[in-house]
C-alpha cells in the first residue's frame, strides 16, 4: 500500500510545473526540492588527489530531438568512447508522456536528468561504439547503438583527462556486468530509491555487481577504468546517486590493480 502512495505522490509532483518557472525550456530542470540530493560529495576523493590527478566533466555536446536528422548527423561522429550521455526531457514533454501512462518518465520531472549512459566500444566488432547503461527489467546492457540517440534530448559530458581512462577495463566492465544481469534482476531497485547501491568501487572482475541503476553503473564503470568520482555520499548507503550527481562530480585518477588472473578465475574452496 505504501508503495502506491509514494508512486502517487511522485506522479502528482512530476505533473506540476517547475516552481522556478518554464522560461528555460531548452535546459533540463528537476523539481527544486529534490535538487539537494543531486550534489556530489564535497569531501570526495578528488579533494585527496594531487592536482595533476584531479579530473572534471565538461559539457561538450548537446542535442534536442526536435533538431532533426542533419543536426544529429553532424553530432554523432563527435562522440568518443568514455563520453557520458545525460538524457533529459523538457517539462511539458515529460508531463505529456506521464499522462499517457509512461511512469518511467517521472524521473525526468523530479531530477535534472532522467537517464545516463556511457559510450563504450563493443569487443569483436571493430570500431563500433554502443551505449552502456542499465534500465528497469533489463539491467546493465549495451543493447542500444548510437543511432538511438536521435530520438532523445541529451547533453554529452567528457572528462578533461579522458585519454587517461583505461578503455580496455571500461569495455571489460560493460561486458561482465551485462553477462551477469541481462534481465529484471540486473536493475538495482534499492539504489533507485536511494537506500543502498551495488558495489561502486569494483577493482577486480569478481567484484563487479549484477544490479545497478543507470547512474551507479556509469560511476562503477569509470571506477573500474581508473576514475574515482565524488558522486556518492556515505559510501552510497542512503544516497540516491542521480545522473546529475555523476556529471557534476570531480574525481581522481587511480591506478588499476595488478590482478593474478589465475587466482582470480580459480573457484574458492567451500
pLDDT digits (tens, 9 = 90+) for 38-75: 788 899 999 999 999 999 999 999 999 999 999 999 99
Please tell me the distance from the alpha carbon of residue 4 to that of residue 100, in angstroms, as a whole number.
18
Predicted local confidence at residue 29, as pLDDT: 60
Asked if residues 225 and 165 have their Cβ atoms less than 8 Å apart, the reply is yes
Query: Per-residue pLDDT for 190 more than 50?
Result: no
Give the range with max mean pLDDT: 99-108, 115-124, 245-254: 245-254
**85, 116 Cβ separation under 8 angstroms:** yes
Give the range with max mean pLDDT: 105-114, 153-162, 191-200, 261-270: 153-162
Q: In what order do the strands lie in the sheet with 115-121?
A: 139-145, 129-135, 115-121, 84-88, 153-159, 54-63, 250-253, 227-229
For cell 509532483, the residue is 13
- Which of 22-31, 59-68, 130-139 is the least confident region? 22-31
**Burial class of 35 by CB neighbour count within 10 A (0 to 12, 13 to 18, 19+):** middle
C-alpha–C-alpha distance, residues 235 and 241, integer Å:
10
pLDDT value for 99: 79
Please tell me the distance from the alpha carbon of residue 68 to that of residue 70, in angstroms, as a whole number: 6
pLDDT at 146 over 50: yes
Beta bridge partners of 250: 56
Most confident of 59-63, 105-109, 258-262: 59-63
Give the model's confidence band at 212: pLDDT under 50 very low, under 70 low, under 90 confident, else very high. Answer: confident
Classify residue 57 by its DSSP letter. Answer: E
Tell me the domains of the chain and their CATH numbers. 23-35+43-253 (3.90.1720)
Closest by CA to 156, choosing from 81, 228, 231, is: 81
- C-alpha cell read off for 67: 533538431
> What pLDDT is attached to residue 264?
53
Q: Which pLDDT score is estimated for 92? A: 78
State mean pLDDT over 166-181: 89
Q: Higher model confidence: residue 127 or residue 207?
A: 207
pTM metric for this prediction: 0.79
Q: For the residues 221-250, what does the mean pLDDT come to?
A: 83
Rounded to whole angstroms, what are the CA distances from 144 to 129, 132, 134, 156, 259?
10, 8, 11, 16, 31
Model confidence at 196, pLDDT cuts 50, 70, 90, reads very low
Amino acid at each position: 500500500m505504501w508503495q502506491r502512495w509514494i508512486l502517487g505522490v511522485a506522479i502528482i509532483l512530476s505533473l506540476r510545473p517547475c516552481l522556478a518557472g518554464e522560461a528555460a525550456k531548452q535546459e533540463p530542470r528537476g523539481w527544486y526540492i529534490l535538487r539537494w540530493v543531486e550534489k556530489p560529495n564535497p569531501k570526495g576523493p578528488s579533494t585527496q588527489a594531487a592536482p595533476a590527478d584531479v579530473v572534471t566533466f565538461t559539457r561538450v555536446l548537446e542535442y534536442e530531438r526536435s533538431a532533426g536528422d542533419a543536426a544529429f548527423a553532424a553530432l554523432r561522429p563527435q562522440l568518443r568512447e568514455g563520453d557520458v550521455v545525460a538524457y533529459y526531457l523538457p517539462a511539458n514533454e515529460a508531463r505529456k508522456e506521464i499522462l499517457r501512462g509512461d511512469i518511467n518518465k517521472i524521473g525526468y520531472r523530479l531530477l535534472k536528468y532522467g537517464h545516463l549512459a556511457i559510450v563504450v566500444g563493443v569487443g569483436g566488432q571493430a570500431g563500433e561504439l554502443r551505449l552502456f547503461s542499465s534500465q528497469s527489467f533489463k539491467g546493465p546492457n549495451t543493447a542500444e547503438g548510437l543511432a538511438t540517440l536521435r530520438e532523445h534530448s541529451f547533453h554529452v559530458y567528457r572528462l578533461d583527462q579522458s585519454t587517461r581512462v583505461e578503455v580496455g577495463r571500461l569495455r571489460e566492465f560493460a561486458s561482465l556486468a551485462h553477462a551477469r544481469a541481462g534481465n529484471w534482476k540486473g536493475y538495482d531497485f534499492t539504489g533507485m530509491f536511494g537506500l543502498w547501491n551495488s558495489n561502486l568501487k569494483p577493482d577486480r572482475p569478481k567484484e563487479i555487481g549484477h544490479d545497478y541503476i543507470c547512474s551507479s553503473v556509469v560511476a562503477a564503470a569509470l571506477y573500474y577504468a581508473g576514475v574515482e568520482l565524488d558522486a556518492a555520499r556515505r559510501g552510497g548507503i542512503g544516497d540516491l546517486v542521480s545522473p546529475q550527481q555523476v556529471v557534476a562530480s570531480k574525481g581522481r585518477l587511480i591506478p588499476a590493480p595488478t590482478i593474478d588472473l589465475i587466482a582470480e578465475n580459480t573457484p574458492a574452496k567451500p
